[in-house]
Structure 1
Amino acid sequence: MSRTEADRLIADLGAAYDRISAAMYALDTHPDLAVLRGTAHNGDTARVAAGLLARLAVLWSQFTAFSELLHRVREVRARRSRPGDGELRELTALLRGPAVRLGGDGMVLDDSVADPSARSSGLVELARRIETESTGLAGSLSEVAAARTRLAEEFGQLIATVAGLRREVGAPGDDPTIEGDLTRLGRQIEEAYGSALGDPLAATRNGPVAARLRELTVQVTGLADRLAALTDLRDGYSGRVARLGAELDELAAATTETNRTYAAALTKIADPGLPDLPDPNPALRTHLHQLDQLHRERRWPRLGTELVAVEQAVATARCRMAELHEAADGLLRRRAELRGRLDAYRAKAGRLGLIEHVDLSARYRLARDLLYTSPCDLAAATRAVVAYQRQLNDLAERPTPGAKGAVP
C-alpha cells in the first residue's frame, strides 16, 4: 500500500470506529437491555432475549478485537511521519490481510482454538460486520421495547380507569359491591399485566393475553356504567321524583276524565263491554313516597331498582288509562257517528223525494229510536242504520210506486 492509501483507509476505519463506539454505547445503555438481563422471561420473549444477549456478546468480542487491531495500526503509522517500506508492508498486512478468526457464531477465536467452521475476516470487513450487526441488534431490542410499551399502554389505561372509578365511588355506603368489585378487578388487572410482562412478545399477539385483556376491559366498562348509573341516580334523584310527581298528577287528571267518560258510556250505551276501571294513583303515590326512605338511607342499588319500577308502572298506568278512555269514548263517538250517518241518509232521501216512503220511513224511525234511546243498543242501531242505507240505495237506483207516500 502507498502511504496515501494507508492514511485514507486508516481515516475511514477511524470514522467507522467512532460510529461503532456510539452504537455500542447506545446498545449497552439501552433500558430494555437491562430489562432483558434482569428479568426472568418465558416463551417467545425468553428465546428472543437469549438470542439477543448471545449476539451482543459476539458483537462485543468483535468490537474489542477491532479496537485492538485499529490501535496497532495507529501505533505502526505513528512511528514515522513518512513510513518506510517496512511500515507500509506491516500496515498492508494489518489493513488488508486476515485480521481475526471468527467462529461459526461470529465469536472472535484465539489462534489456539480449533474450529472447523472458523473463517478469517479482514479489518475493513470486520468493521462493516460490526456496524451492520449493531444496527440489527438495536432494531431487535426496539421490537421488545415496543411490545412492552404496548402492554404498558393497554394495561395502564385499564389501571388508570379503575383508579379513577375508585375516586368516584364516594361514601363507602353508597354501593359496597362496586367498591369490592373495583378492588378485585384492580388486582386481576395487575396480575394479568405481570404475567404478560413475562412474555411481552407473545402477549401482544392475538392470543390468551389479548383475550384476557378484552375480558377485563368489558368488566371495567361494566363497572363504569354501574357507577355512572349510580351517580346519575344520586345526582338526578330529585329531578326524576319531581317528574314522576307531575306524571302522577297527569294520571290523576286522566283518571278523572276517564271516569267521566266511563260514566257517560255506561249510561248511554247498553251492554258496553268495558273492563273495570282501576284507580292506580293511590298505590303509585305510596310507592313513590317509599322511595324517599331509601334515598335517606342511601340504599342506592335498591333505590335505583325501585325508582325504575315506579317509572315503568306510571308509564304503563298512563298508557292503560288512555286505552280505557279511548274504549269508552269510542262507544260514544260510534253512537254520534251513526246519528250523523242517519241524518245524512235522511237528507239524501229528502233530495230523492223518498221521505214519505212507507218502508223507508219505518226503517228510519227504528234506527232513530235505537240511537236516541238511552241506553243505546249500538249493535242493533248499527244494523238498523245499515238496513236504512241499503234500502235507500235500492230505491235510488230503482224508483218504486211507494215514493211520496204511495203504497207499493
Structure 2
Amino acid sequence: MSLGPPMSREGAEYALRARSDERDRISGDLLDLEAHTTYQLLKGASLRGPTQTRWAAAQGALATLWALYDTYRGVLRTAEQVKGPRGRLGAEQLATLTELLSGRSVVLKAAAKPVEERSLLPQADERLTLDETVTRMDAAFQLATDVLTEIDTVWSAALPRLDAADAELRVVSDLQRQLGETLDLTQAEAELKRMRAAVLEDPLGSAPPDHELARVTGALASTRADLEQALRVSQEYGRRREELAAALDRVRAAESDARVAHGTVVAKIALPPQAQPRSKVDALAGELDALDASTGTWLDRSGRLTALEQGVEQAAQQAGATAKALLGLIGRRNELRGLLGACQAMAVRKGLAEDPDATGLYERARLLLWSAPCDLTKAAQAVDLYQRAIHGGGR
C-alpha cells in the first residue's frame, strides 16, 4: 500500500512530538494499572469460577497489550534516532519517518498455538499502523479495567464489612477470655472464613454475603453486648449488691405500709380476700443469697442480677401502689358520703325530701355508707339510684 508523498520536515517533527506525548500518557496509564490495589491482589490470587475465566481473558489481553506497547515504543525509538539532533532532514530520512509514523510499522508476532491447533505452514505476523496499535491497546486496556472495576466494586462493598465482622469476633474472643466464659465461636469463625474465601476467590460468581453476614454480625454484636454487660457486673457486683440490699429494705418498708393500710381499711371497707397484701421480699432476699453463693459464670450472674434488680424495683412499686389503692378506698367512701349529702340538699330544694321512694333510696344508701365494713360497690349503686331519682330518672 502506497503511503503517498513523504511528510514535510515540520509535519514529521509535529507527528513525532505528538506520538512521544501519546507514549508518555500510555506509559502513565499502564503504570497506574499495575499499581492499582485490586490488580496487585489479583496477581497472586487463587481464583475460581467466572472470576477466574474473566481474569484469565483480561490477562491474555494485557499480555497482548504489553507486546504491542513494546513494539510501539521500539518504532518511536527508531523514529527518534532517524530524526536525530540534525536541524535539517533529508529526503531519505523523511521517507523513513513517514514509513515509521504512518505506515504499518508495528509488527505483532504470531502467537504460539497449542500443537493441536498448529499448521506446518508458516504463521503470518500481523502488521499495524501506530493508530491501529493504539486502538488495539486501548481495547485490551478497557477489557482489563472493566474486569478490575467489577471485582473492585464487590470487594469494596464486602471486604470492609468482613473485616469489621472479624474484628468483632476478636473482641468477643478477648472478652470471653477475660471473663473465663466458655462460648462456642467456631461456627461464626467458620462462616466468616467461608464468606471471605468466596468473595476473594470468585467475587464475580458468588452471591453478595449481605444476609448471611448481617446474621453473623448481629449474633456477634448481641454476644458482645452480653459479655460487656457481664464484665461490668463483675466489676460492679459489690456496689450493686449493697444497693440491692438497701432496695430490699425499702421493699420491706413499703410492704409494711401496705399491711398497715390493709389493717386500717379492712375495718372500714369490705375487702375481698385477694386484697390482702402478699410479701415478695423473702423470695427476693433468697434470690440474692443464691446469687451470692452462685459458682456460675459472670454471663449467667449478669442476667440474674439484672432480673433481680428489676424484680426488687417492681416489688417496691407494687407495695406502694397497693397501700395507695387501699387508702384510696376510704377516700372513695368519703366521696360517696359527700355526694349523698349533696343529693339530699337538692331533694329538699326540689320538695322531694318527704317523697317515700326517694327517702327509701336515701336511707338505704346512708345505711350502706355508714356501715362498717362498707360494701363500696353496693353503696355506689345505691347513691347512683338516689341521684337518678332526685333528677327524675336521668342525670
Band the TM-score falls in, shorter-chain normalisation: 0.7 to 0.9
Within 5 A, what are the aligned runs for 1:312-351?
Answer: 312-318=310-316, 320-322=318-320, 324-325=322-323, 328-348=326-346
Question: How many residue pairs align between the two structures?
Answer: 377
Residue 136 and residue 267 in structure 1: after superposition, are their counterparts in 2 closer, same or farther (change >3 A)?
A: same
Which residue number in structure 2 is paired with residue 293 of structure 1?
293
In structure 2, runs of 5+ residues without a counterpart are 1-5, 114-120
User: 2:72 pairs with 66, 72, 96, which one?
Assistant: 66
CA RMSD in angstroms, aligned pairs only: 3.9
Write the letter of the residue equivalent to 2:15: L
Following the alignment from structure 1 to structure 2, what is the Cα–Cα distance between the partners of residues 385 and 350?
16
Which residue number in structure 2 is paired with residue 185 of structure 1?
188
In structure 1, runs of 5+ residues without a counterpart are 395-408
Q: Give how far 1:382 is off.
A: 5.0
| TM-score, length-scaled by structure 1 | 0.74
Q: Give how far 1:53 is off.
A: 0.8
Write the letter of the residue equivalent to 1:277: P
Following the alignment from structure 1 to structure 2, what is the Cα–Cα distance between the partners of residues 136 and 380?
92
Within 5 A, what are the aligned runs for 1:1-400?
Answer: 1=6, 2-28=8-34, 32-78=38-84, 82-100=88-106, 112-114=122-124, 120-127=127-134, 129-130=136-137, 133-134=140-141, 137-138=144-145, 140-141=147-148, 143-169=150-176, 171-173=178-180, 175-177=181-183, 180-181=184-185, 184-203=187-206, 207-238=207-238, 240-270=240-270, 272-275=271-274, 276-294=276-294, 297=295, 299-318=297-316, 320-322=318-320, 324-325=322-323, 328-348=326-346, 367-378=365-376, 381=379, 385=383
Contact (CA 8 Å) 2:58, 2:140: kept in 1 or not? no
Following the alignment from structure 1 to structure 2, what is the Cα–Cα distance between the partners of residues 359 and 72?
131
Residue 354 and residue 84 in structure 1: after superposition, are their counterparts in 2 closer, same or farther (change >3 A)?
A: closer
The superposition leaves residues 324-376 of structure 1 with CA deviations (integer Å, 9 ceiling, x where unpaired) of 44554354334323332333344445667877888877766665454334334
Residue 291 and residue 4 in structure 1: after superposition, are their counterparts in 2 closer, same or farther (change >3 A)?
A: same
Which residue number in structure 2 is paired with residue 402 of structure 1?
none
| TM-score, length-scaled by structure 2 | 0.76
Following the alignment from structure 1 to structure 2, what is the Cα–Cα distance between the partners of residues 123 and 326?
98
> Which piece of structure 1 moves more, 36-45 or 55-64?
36-45
Write the letter of the residue equivalent to 2:272: G
> Which piece of structure 1 moves more, 39-48 or 126-135?
126-135
Contact (CA 8 Å) 2:39, 2:148: kept in 1 or not? yes
Write the letter of the residue equivalent to 2:47: H
Q: Give how far 1:287 is off.
A: 1.7
> Which piece of structure 1 moves more, 346-355 or 250-259?
346-355
Following the alignment from structure 1 to structure 2, what is the Cα–Cα distance between the partners of residues 367 and 191?
81
Residue 142 and residue 366 in structure 1: after superposition, are their counterparts in 2 closer, same or farther (change >3 A)?
A: closer
